[in-house]
Amino acid sequence: MSVTNRTVGNRPHVRLLALGGRQHGVVTYRQAMTLGVSAMYLSRAVRSGLMERVESGVYTIVGTTDSFHQRMMAACLGAGDGALASHRAAALLLQLDGVEHAPVELSVPRGRRYRKVLTHSTMAVLAGDRTTVDGIPCTAVARTLIDLGAVVDADTVERAVESALRRGATSVDYLRRRLDRLARRGRPGVATLRAVLERRGGVSATESELETRFLQLLRVARLACPVRQHQVPGVGRLDFAYPDRRVAIELDGFETHGSRLAFEHDRSRQNRLVVLGWRVLRFTWADVTDPRRHPAVLAALHDAAA
């Protein structure tokens, strides 16, 4: 390395940029001191517009993206050791179904006060209940599902559970063991998650959030639950079916049915079903999730299940 490059590499702002690049543009006073960056330099950087002080001891590098990840990182660093993204924030970071937006939300060790964002006081978190997502300390999947039950409704928890099971991120047996352990401590969210697991029974995970929401719609309408993933010889697997009535139900999510090839395959398969004497009902994401469409959807399902 040349002398010039070595000098540039040692400049304080270059060192801060390197660290900030790993932390979504966030650095702390303590980290800056560890890098050999002086307090005087930090003050000058703030005054000159290179850095922005977001709270005591926490800075963002001007020009980096203001994002949910950046705000979560700043909160975790500001709250100190042991702080974790949790509840809805953790579900969003972990990309669990059902949580599309979340507040900056943390779990902090019991007895610590941090009032900059929404916080939950917690006893020591087990090592297995911790993970890191994009560099942000976060509650792991099972713990997140338990905590989620304390702040959202059961249907949202169910969507998150199904997506976690679908990805193999946890199992029903493991969740039950965690519930049994935390129930003795009166952990919020335990009852909600337990109810979700009880009502789903021992079935396999749904194959998409659309399937989960479709089953929830049927449950609210008190319609008979169709057979899931029913195989028809010569046709293949149906999303749902009432086999004794020869009624097939297909859910058209764009991620699996959005290509021209998929479109043509679906129509060919539907024709084969009709030839075999099946009635085919098709529903889209909007059909299942938009309450304004529910009357027509439920009327068709009621007629099919009758």
Q: Domains in the chain, please, with CATH?
A: 3-65 (1.10.10), 69-200 (no CATH), 209-305 (3.40.960.10)
pLDDT in tens, 282-299: 999 999 999 999 999 999
pLDDT in tens, 193-223: 999 999 988 888 999 999 999 999 999 999 9
* Confidence at 10, pLDDT banded by 50, 70, 90: low
For residue 274, pLDDT over 50 is answered with yes
Mean pLDDT (whole number) for 181-201: 85
Longest CA pairwise span in the chain (Å): 83
CB atoms within 10 A of CB 171: 13
* CA–CA separation, 142 and 128 (whole Å): 9
pLDDT in tens, 219-261: 999 998 899 989 999 888 999 999 999 999 999 876 655 556 6
39: helix, coil or strand? helix
Mean pLDDT (whole number) for 9-13: 72
252 Cβ contact list (under 8 Å, min separation 6): 266, 282, 283, 284, 285
**% of the chain residues with pLDDT over 90:** 74
* CA–CA separation, 160 and 97 (whole Å): 5
pLDDT in tens, 123-178: 767 888 999 999 999 999 999 999 999 999 999 999 999 999 999 999 999 999 98
Lowest mean pLDDT segment, chosen from 59-63, 266-270, 291-295: 266-270
Which H helix or E strand runs over 251?
strand 247-252
Q: What is residue 5's predicted lDDT score, i.e. its pLDDT?
A: 37
Q: Which residues pair with 84 in a beta bridge?
A: 107
Q: What is residue 202's predicted lDDT score, i.e. its pLDDT?
A: 80
* CA–CA separation, 55 and 75 (whole Å): 9
